[in-house]
């Protein structure tokens, strides 16, 4: 597979989670989250997005979000549950993207804010229409999905290399 092909990065913030006095990593989805995640999956399916690889935070709410989203798609991508996505900052997320093998054309990352919003904002050197304003106004809410495209190797992913082509949030 050519490193100069167009690739797609789909960034998903986990759906709405329950609040708890327990360990943050173990918080499950709330009822609203269990409704919003399949809607995000239907949105991806309707856009014809079929990722080759999914990188998912190990937190309970991200794993549950991933399961509900991908139940709506025709095929489930190869999946890596990655501890480094939980509480990852922008630099850590870009470093993870730089590790993706070049045979992957379409990637989905299911993670947390503020990381997902920071990553979408940093990568988007260009955007279609009013997408940046819509994303900024919404603040990348739970179950939000940003789709970015870029040309080149995953090792070349850095600030401003991508184009924001879609942004959707269930309640925005």
- Spatial separation of the C-alpha atoms in residues 63 and 119, rounded to whole Å: 20
Instruction: Average the pLDDT over each of 8-17, 120-129, 132-141 and give the range with the smallest value.
Output: 132-141
- For residues 18 and 138, the model is more confident at 18
pLDDT at 150 over 80: yes
- Dig out the tokens for 155 from the structure: 């090792």
Select from 3.40.50.150, 3.30.1280.10, 3.40.50.1100, 3.40.50.1240 the CATH code of 6-168.
3.40.50.1240
pTM higher than 0.85 for the full model? yes
Higher pLDDT, 132 or 81: 81
Distance CA 100, CA 24 (A): 27
Residue spans of the domains in the chain: they are 6-168
* Contact criterion met (CB below 8 Å) for 50 and 108: no
Is 108 strand, coil or helix? Answer: strand
Provide the token pair at 128: 């279609």
Contact 41, 57 (CB under 8 A): no
């Amino acid at each position: 597979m050519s490193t100069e092909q167009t690739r797609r990065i789909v960034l998903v913030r986990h759906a709405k989670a329950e609040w708890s006095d327990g360990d943050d990593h173990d918080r499950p989805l709330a009822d609203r989250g269990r409704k919003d995640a399949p809607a995000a999956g239907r949105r991806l399916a309707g856009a014809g997005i079929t990722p080759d690889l999914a990188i998912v935070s190990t937190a309970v709410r991200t794993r549950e979000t991933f399961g509900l989203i991908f139940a709506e798609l025709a095929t489930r991508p190869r999946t890596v549950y990655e501890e480094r996505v939980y509480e990852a900052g922008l630099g850590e997320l870009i470093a993870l993207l730089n590790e993706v093998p070049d045979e992957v054309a379409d990637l989905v990352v299911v993670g947390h804010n503020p990381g997902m919003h920071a990553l979408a904002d940093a990568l988007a050197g260009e955007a279609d229409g009013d997408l940046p304003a819509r994303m900024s106004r919404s603040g990348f809410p739970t179950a939000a999905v940003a789709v970015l495209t870029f040309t080149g190797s995953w090792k070349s992913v850095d600030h401003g290399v991508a184009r924001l082509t879609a942004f959707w949030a269930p309640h925005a």
